[in-house]
């Protein structure tokens, strides 16, 4: 929303001018040429617009003129950050081809203190030092992902960067986890 105008009843006639904003468009492709099954385009400070299927083309309308960092995120690939993109009133900013990398895959199992499998929410992020991650754009910038483990406690996280990651799990009854490396090189999260 633009700058508010002060108005009083019984005063002068108020004219409210509408603005359409600009738009962003482009086409996403994975590094092997495939189109992701689903993806979301998010502007820092705004909500995301989801797309799926098709040929990877997208267009987001009604963006107020300004400069934005845009994130393209989704399952199975690394979040792409596109900083300092300018959007002008009544114009489309075409990003062209947006190349996405699949990233790495992490599989593991969540277990109770007694070793029994647990259905839990598993969260992974890039290593954070003394900061909180708040808001969808901040979550994307720090690689925050959440998945649920299955009845056997197994989980799969995809589209992860090659970096040190923080991993944890939470269950309303079993509690919160502490990360430890599992046997055979497989991560195991104990609650």
Q: How confident is the model at residue 124 (pLDDT cuts 50, 70, 90)?
A: confident
Q: How confident is the model at residue 164 (pLDDT cuts 50, 70, 90)?
A: confident
Do residues 179 and 124 touch, judged by C-beta distance below 8 A? no
Least confident of 9-23, 55-69, 172-186: 172-186
Q: What is the DSSP letter of 139?
A: H
Start-to-end C-alpha separation, the chain: 45
3-state secondary structure of 62: strand
E strand intervals along 53-91: 57-63, 66-73, 80-87
Average pLDDT over residues 48-71: 90
Average pLDDT over residues 160-171: 82
Q: What is the pTM of this model?
A: 0.68
Helix ranges restricted to H, the chain? 136-141
Residues pairing with 22 in the sheet: 63
pLDDT digits (tens, 9 = 90+) for 174-186: 888 865 433 444 5
Q: What angle do CA 78, 41, 79 make, to 5 degrees?
A: 10
Q: Which of 14-18, 71-75, 125-129 has the highest mean pLDDT?
A: 71-75
Distance CA(91)–CA(100), nearest Å, equals: 25
Q: What is the CA radius of gyration of the chain?
A: 21
| pLDDT for the residue numbered 98 | 95
| pLDDT for the residue numbered 94 | 96
Q: Are strands 57-63 and 22-30 parallel, antiparallel or unpaired?
A: antiparallel
């Amino acid at each position: 929303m633009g700058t508010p105008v002060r108005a009083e009843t019984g005063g002068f006639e108020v004219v409210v001018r509408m603005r359409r904003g600009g738009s962003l468009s482009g086409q996403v492709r994975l590094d092997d040429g495939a189109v992701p099954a689903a993806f979301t385009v998010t502007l820092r400070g705004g909500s995301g617009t989801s797309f799926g299927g098709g040929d990877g083309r997208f267009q987001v309308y009604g963006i107020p003129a300004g400069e934005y960092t845009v994130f393209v995120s989704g399952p199975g690939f690394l979040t792409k950050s596109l900083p300092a993109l300018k959007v002008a009133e009544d114009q489309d900013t075409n990003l062209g081809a947006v190349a996405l990398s699949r990233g790495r895959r992490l599989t593991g199992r969540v277990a109770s203190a007694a070793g029994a499998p647990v259905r839990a929410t598993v969260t992974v992020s890039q290593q954070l030092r003394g900061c909180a991650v708040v808001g969808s754009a901040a979550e994307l910038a720090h690689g925050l992902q959440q998945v649920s483990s299955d009845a056997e406690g197994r989980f799969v996280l995809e589209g992860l960067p090659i970096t040190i990651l923080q991993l944890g799990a939470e269950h309303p009854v079993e509690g919160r986890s502490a990360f430890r490396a599992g046997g055979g090189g497989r991560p195991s999260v104990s609650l």
